[in-house]
Amino acid sequence: MTPRPRVCWLFSPIRSGSSITVYAAGAALGWPVADEVFGPWDRTGPPYHYPRSHVTLLEAFKASGEKLTPEIAGLADTVFAEVAAGHEPPAPGVISKHPHASIGPEDVAAHWAAGPTAGLAARPDHRTVVLLRNPIFALNSLFVRGWDEATGGGDMLGYFSAIGERWLADPNRLVYEDFRRDPAAYFGRLLTAWGEEPTPARIEAAIAYAAGNYHHSSKSTGGAQPGDAPDAVRSERAWAVPERIVAAYLADPLMREVFAAAGWPRERAGYPTA
């Protein structure tokens, strides 16, 4: 039987720095990333080469109405174990990236029990962290790239609100802006929250990965170059998010609470204009 690996989860909205975070952390730990294995895409082909069990999982998850049931959790266990075993060398853990509002830390806590694993005694097999970026800048990232169809013509306020509520409740919550300001502290907090030692070597490996990689969807704006520094955020050099969306977020009570907790501007003057 393939052993069950530890699973460290990162929940976040889209366009919020989750890719660079999980792959840099994977480089630090020597673990593979299970990148959106719940779907919606079939990633059995390149560059992911996930096992066929991933397709079984994503189809069952879709059929369940995107609910984390005991059956879905069991299918996910199989995928995580096969992804870890297929890593070279086989890894004791997997990082699960989930930039969707369908499930959250509360679902993980309900379906995976704590248990002792090597390294730290009696720690949970699954650990979760919620990452958030200012939703107005995350949405601007979509509009700058011409990806506004991803919004479905709306403002995605319900989506960001669902993840924002989870972020407010998360004692280990992170913000993308901290990655840009102080990547060493950012990755240190992430690894600690996951129950992994933030050794100097691991922090250095994460920072080196982040400095040397600019993930594909983040460099699809004209002028972006591989190897851009973390503070070279193309989507913040142009402004394309509709004013109605900016106004909706700045007026929403929950978003104002989230913005206050994160230290983000709550007045229109704090944001660029077209």
What is the rounded CA–CA span in Å between residue 253 and residue 270? 18
Q: What is the pLDDT of residue 233?
A: 57
Report the chain's mean pLDDT, rounded to a whole number: 88
What pTM was computed for the model? 0.88
Say whether pLDDT at 48 is over 70: yes
Say whether pLDDT at 47 is over 90: yes
Quick one: pLDDT band at residue 274, thresholds 50, 70, 90? confident
pLDDT tens by residue, 132-178: 999 999 999 999 998 877 787 789 999 999 999 999 999 999 999 99
What is the rounded CA–CA span in Å between residue 177 and residue 233? 11
pLDDT tens by residue, 201-249: 999 999 999 998 854 444 433 433 333 344 445 556 689 999 999 999 9
Q: What is the pLDDT of residue 113?
A: 60
pLDDT tens by residue, 91-142: 999 999 999 999 999 999 988 865 433 333 334 689 999 999 999 999 999 9
Q: What is the pLDDT of residue 227?
A: 39
Q: Which domains does the chain have, with CATH numbers?
A: 6-136+171-230 (3.40.50)
